[in-house]
Every structure is written in structure tokens, then in C-alpha cells.
Amino acid sequence: MSRAIVIAGVASGTGKTTVATGLMAALRRRGTSVAPFKVGPDYIDPGYHALATGRPGRNLDPVLVGEHRVPALFAHGAAGAELAVVEGVMGLFDGRIGAAAGGYAGQPVDEVADGSTAHVARLLGAPVLLVVDTRGQSRSLAALLHGFATYRPGTRLAGVVLNQVGSPRHEEVLRAACAEVGLPVLGALPRRDELAVPSRHLGLVTAAEHGGAATAAVDAMAELVARHVDLDAVLAAAGGHPDTPAWEPAAEVGEPVGARPVVAIAGGSAFSFGYAEHPELLAAAGAHVVVFDPLRDERLPEGTAGLVLPGGFPEEHGAALAANASLRAEVAALAAAGAPVHAECGGLLYLGTELDGQPMCGVLPGVGRMTTQLRLGYRDAVAISPSALFDAGQRVTGHEFHRTEVTPRAGDPTGGAAPAWQWAQRDATGPEGYVRGQLHASYLHVHPAGQPGAVARFVAACARFAATPNDVPDDVPNDVPNDVPDDAPVGVPR
């Protein structure tokens, strides 16, 4: 059973990623096998975690996958590792807004997943190492730490890492403040600027795009943490997690199809927003999974019978995607032939006619463009139309994360397709997404581990297409059961 330590912050921007990623890499350099995790629906930090550890970065999000799956997914991702390092999200107690103010749909507060770092730490039974940006802090740090230590009795603080310390005297005062509330200091990082990783409209530049600079940044984080954090004390502070059987993809999707249809997943710098469990579930359902890069590969994988276009940053690579005209034509032909296509966010943009003036695949009539408005948060949605993934009326919880828009707006009847979703949020407006035959495209990111029935349904549709590629009906048979309960909680975005 792997031990675990959760790296949390008192707020966003305190240095969690630097400490967590540096700790992962520094321990790996010493010969400790480390399993990396990130709390919440983050696609960027896990890429840096993977560079630091040599293992897939994985997410733990009780809102998207359900509380009951979090310990099992942890056990799956931590298998064979000596230590698991879990990077938190925002501040320690920050989660889904509304979960602490009465719940959702009449549910009691303690039955609603807020998805905070403290929530995940409790589910894992793991101690928390709190990172504090100490600029402007002195003895009042004791009051801050006292509040964090006592706010939720079920949260166990193992110690503190002081970040952005100004001088030896500053560190001395801060350590005395920590001692007042009985919290050990496991590290003190000096102020510095050289570790800044380039960021843009949705956060840090992804590790896949940052290339050698990303590796250099991880190396710098490792050196900083190795110099200024007591690694032995961190290892000693790590705790065990509940002895839960590991998550098994095969048990989630049921009997695999026998045809082994080829399912192509877009990857590379433009389409990096995916979860590690997705290809595992696809393979368990019977698919032969092949990853391709729309920036480099001029053809789809041989025998492609289904296509997955995840999110990412196609808006940053519009010219290069447009220049790959042969691949765009193959994607359009595959969709026109009736193959199952699952596109999320960036994938939706790629299927449109153009993106910021650059031609895309032309599968859907939408025109994509950058805006100044950030759309971010959990979304509860109801499937309006039956598709290769979901039954009409099925309720899911997903995540929205983009600064782009598509016009005609996704779900608009003039868009030439049926709408995919109706948001359940009280501030929502109109339907969203496209369903056309076997194609499902929308801005909603759904965690596949939380919707394994949708993955099995998709692979079964791919197998049918592979068997009869020229005789695919417009309506999708609902012969693959989906296991999402009808009483899934409905909430509000954060």
C-alpha cells in the first residue's frame, strides 16, 4: 500500500505546483518511486507531474467520478509506487460552490461532493502539507495556520512549507509563528523568479508544448525543493490510505467487444486535455487504441473505426492544423461515413468550418473564435438527444474550461444538428453541443472513469461501424447499457 502526502495551499498561487512537482522529481532522483496525482479537473499540471515522475499524471475528482471511485482510482494509479504525491487545487477548502451551503437538489451537505483538496485528503486518509506564500507575512501567520488547522477537524495537517521567504530573519520569525500553533516547518523556499513557467489564457503552457523548457523547469523545481525542503521529514509525514481494491477498467465496462475496432485519439501539443483512464477504458471495452498528432500526421491510423478529439489548445495552433489539409479531409470523410466521433471543447473547434479565420475540418457548421470571457466550472447536464455515448435524458456532471465560442452557437437549431446537452445550472441559457448520427461534440469535458457505460457504448458503436462501414443508420441503437443513475446530483458551477 503506497503512502501519500497531499500538497495544499492556503489559496491559489501560493506555489503548490512548484512544491509538488519539485518534490516528485527530487524524490525520484533519490530513487523513490513516486505516483503523481492532481485534485480536480486539471489537464495541465499532470503533464508536469508526468515529466517529474516518469508515470502518467492522474486526477482525483469526486465531483466528476463520485466519492466511491476516488480511493480505488488512487490505488490503481499508485500501484507499485513507494509514495504518492497529490497536488491540491486552489486553497485547501475551496471546492464546488454551493456544496457547503445547503447541498444540491435537497441533499444534505455531507452527501454532496465539493471536490476540494480537504475532501480528497479525507477520502484517502492522507495528511496535508500546507504551502504558504509568506510575502507580507509575519507573526500573523500563526493565526492563519490556527484557522486552517481547526476549521475542519477531519483534516490532518502534517506541516508547513514556507514559500517566498525574504531573508534569514524573516524565516526565523515565520518558524516561530508556526511553532506557536504546533505545526512543524518541513521546508522554507527563498524568493525567486527563475522558476516561472509561461502562462496564457487558460493557465500554464502545457508540458507537451513547452518541450525542453518544461523539462528544464521541472529540473529547476527539483533542485529548489531538494535544497530547501526536508525530504526525509516529508517521507516520514506521509500516511497510508484506506485499503481499497484498485479500480479495474475491465470491471467498469463489462464484456469487451470481440472485433477490436481501431479507435484513434488525437494527441500532441494541440489536443492534450485528456484523462489517463480514458484509453485504459477504451482498451478494456475492446478497442485497439492508437494516438495520432493532428499537427504532424497526415492520415488517420489505418482502419480507424472511431475518433476521439479531446480538448486542448487548437486555437494556439490554428495555422498548423489548417495546413494539414489531408488529415482534415480524412476526418471529414470518416464523419460523413457515419463513424462514431466524440469531440470535447478543442475537438469541437477542430470539427467546425474555421477557427479564428483558419479552415478546420468542416464537419460541423460552427465558426470558432477566441473571446475575452472565461467559461470555467462544473456543469450538470442532461442529454437531450440519444448519441453514440449517452441516452436521451441521461444526467451527467462535467466541466467547462474555455475562452472560445462557436457560432452558430452549439445547440442552435440552425447548426444543422440536434443539441447534445441542456445545462441544469440555474444560470444556464439554452442547449449546448451537437449530435448528428454517430457524432457527439460539445464544450463539456466528462471524466470517462465517471461514465464508463458511455465508453463501452462508444466502443460498441465503433465495432458496428467497422463491421458495416457503409451501412450505418442515422439513429444509434441503445443496446449498450449505461450505468449512470437517474438521481445523479444537480449542482451549481464554481
Do 259 and 400 lie in a common domain? yes
Res 409: pLDDT: 59
- Exactly one of 178, 345, 361, 462 is catalytic; name it: 345
Query: Residue 80 forms beta bridges with which residues?
Result: none
Contact of 376 with 464, CB cutoff 8 Å: no
pLDDT of residue 254: 95
Task: Give the 3-state secondary structure percentages of the chain, helix then strand then coil, rounded to 5.
Answer: 35, 25, 40
Q: Is 31 left (phi over 0), alpha (psi -120 to 50) or beta?
A: left
Give me the residue label for grid cell 508556526.
Answer: 178
Tell me: do 166 and 24 sit in the same domain.
yes
pLDDT at 362 over 50: yes
399-415 mean pLDDT: 74
pLDDT in tens, 310-332: 999 999 999 999 999 999 999 99
Query: What confidence tier does 482 reach under pLDDT thresholds 50, 70, 90?
Result: very low
- Least Cα distance to 316 among 205, 224, 440 occurs for 205
C-alpha cell recorded at residue 141: 501567520
Average pLDDT score over the chain: 88
Q: Which of 97-101, 102-106, 146-150, 152-156 has the lowest mean pLDDT?
A: 102-106
pLDDT tens digits for 189-204?
999 865 655 554 444 5
- Same domain (yes/no): 309, 418: yes
Tell me what the mean pLDDT of segment 165-184 comes to.
Answer: 98
Is 198 found in the same domain as 336? no
At residue 460, the pLDDT reads 98
Q: 50 vs 25, 46, 75, 451, CA distance in Å? A: 10, 6, 17, 24
Fill in the amino acid letter for 70. Answer: V
74-83, 148-157, 375-384, 480-489 — which is least confidently predicted? 480-489
Burial of 288 (0-12, 13-18, 19+ CB in 10 A): middle
Q: Which helix (H) or strand (E) holds 27?
A: helix 16-29
How far apart CA 481 and CA 475 sit, in angstroms, is 16
Query: Is 43 in the same domain as 184?
Result: yes
| Bond prior to 408 in cis (omega within 30° of 0) | yes
pLDDT in tens, 97-122: 765 443 333 344 444 569 999 999 99
- The answer to the question of residue 492 being in a domain is no
- How many domains, the chain? 2
Give strand pairing partners of 410. none
* Residue numbers of the domain that contains 298: 249-467
CA distance linking residue 316 with residue 321, whole number of Å: 10
pLDDT at 489 over 50: no
Whether the predicted pLDDT of 72 surpasses 60: yes
Give the contacts of 22 (CB within 8 A, at least 6 positions apart): 52, 218, 221, 222, 223, 224, 225, 226, 229
The residues facing 262 across adjacent strands are: 288, 304
Residue-level pLDDT at 492: 27
Total-model pTM: 0.89
- What percentage of the chain exceeds 90 in pLDDT? 74
What is the predicted pLDDT for the residue at 484? 32
Give the end of a domain, one of 203, 237, 271: 237
Which residues have a Cβ under 8 Å from the Cβ of 108 and sit 6 or more positions away? none
Assigned domain for 269 exists: yes
Query: Does residue 217 sit in the same domain as residue 307?
Result: no
pLDDT > 80? residue 493: no
Of 347, 404, 348, nearest in space to 376 by CA: 404
Same domain, 446 and 405: yes
Q: Is residue 211 included in any domain, yes or no? A: yes
> Could you give the percent of the chain with pLDDT greater than 70?
84
Q: What is the CATH number of the domain that holds 53?
A: 3.40.50.300
Looking only at Cα atoms, what is the longest distance across the chain? 76
Give the span between the Cα atoms of 27 and 13, in whole angstroms: 23
Q: Which pLDDT belongs to residue 44?
A: 87
Q: Are 204 and 254 in a shared domain?
A: no
Contact 172, 199 (CB under 8 A): no
Residue 345 annotated as catalytic: yes
What does the pLDDT read at residue 153?
A: 86
* Phi, psi torsion values for 469, nearest 5 degrees: -65, -20
pLDDT at 200: 41
